[in-house]
Amino acid sequence: MTKELLIYLDGKIVPESQAKISVFDHGLLYGDGCFEGIRFYNGRVFRLEEHTRRIYDSAKSLLLTIPMTPEEMIGATVETVKANGLRDGYIRTVITRGVGPMGLSPYKCPKASVFIIAASIQLYPPSAYENGLVMATVATRRPRHDILPPQVKSLNYLNNVMAKVEAIQAGAEEGLMLNDQGLVAECTGDNIFIIRDGAISTPPLSAGALDGITRRVVFEIAATLGIPLHERDLTRHDIFTADECFLTGTAAEVIAAVKLDQRVIGDGKPGVITKRVIAKFREIANSTGTPVYE
């Protein structure tokens, strides 16, 4: 029999079978809320303070009051991992608007709900990390900043879900998403980077890219390794003709992409610079973070 996970739910650690929210929670009824995905390695939660700040930023943008301080959130996150006895895995922190009557108004929901899940995850098979991902450009576009700010990780993720569906139906493992101008924004769940003539480029946040935590780590890695890195507008052509390409995300970590829309990127294998970035990321991820058991 599989052991039940222990879930943090509104101040208590409870078995997953008891971790329930109301059908009247506006997070369920309207996608009104926000979330974070966080990784932990070797008993340390990676970039926990940055993730915590980002979920509070998302909540602030949504006029959503989280009923605990950031310090309490950090403590609850560590407590959830520790309660499950895990050393490596993935955390999903979710803030919902809370219970309220039917209707869109968030002001009728007196208190937000918080739950935290700590579990294992494998976004892509090991072979994808060895050989690289195949991508397809999808028709679903990333929303403009005046529609739904890309920096808010809201519970309304249908834009990304439908883009992922398109990618899978096209026989690809990941979907490339463009913005309303036809410029590259990001992938369905990852930021995208290309390498050309020894320099790394990635779309600016203004193009619709999420301010990814792993994306930030790559900026630090590039500086450490002495590799030029630029934020600039990218087109599909730039990816087709790149020497290398890789994606980043909390769940995906850093992974090479070797084909887009039937065009082979570079020599069709994870490139030298991509491998250096991956190796450095793994080194940092496995040696730093907020300790769980100390």
Write out the chain's pLDDT in tens, 294 residues: 578 999 999 999 999 999 999 999 999 999 999 999 999 999 999 999 999 999 999 999 999 999 999 999 999 999 999 999 999 999 999 999 999 999 999 999 999 999 999 998 887 889 999 999 999 999 999 999 999 899 999 999 999 999 999 999 999 999 999 999 999 999 999 999 999 999 999 999 999 999 999 999 999 999 999 999 999 999 999 999 999 999 999 999 999 999 999 999 999 999 999 999 999 999 999 999 999 998
- For the chain, the domains span 6-119, 126-285
Closest CA to 81 of 71, 91, 73, 70: 91
Q: Can you list the alpha helix ranges (DSSP code H) found in 188-262?
A: 213-225, 236-240
208 contacts 150 by C-beta, under 8 angstroms: yes
Q: Which two tokens stand for residue 191?
A: 């930021």
Q: Please give the angle made by the CA atoms of 191, 196 and 183, to the nearest 5 degrees.
A: 45
Record: fold of 126-285: D-amino Acid Aminotransferase; Chain A, domain 2 (3.20.10)
Residue 191: alpha-carbon gap to chain centroid: 9
pTM of the predicted model as reported, rounded to 2 decimal places: 0.96
From the list 20, 82, 108, 153, the catalytic residue is: 153
The helix/strand/coil state of 74 is helix
Predicted pLDDT of residue 125: 87
The listed CATH number (3.30.470.10, 3.40.50.720, 3.40.50.10490, 3.30.70.360) that belongs to domain 6-119: 3.30.470.10
Predicted pLDDT of residue 97: 98
Q: In the annotation, is 153 catalytic? A: yes
- Element housing 56 (H / E): helix 48-61
First to last CA, the chain: 30
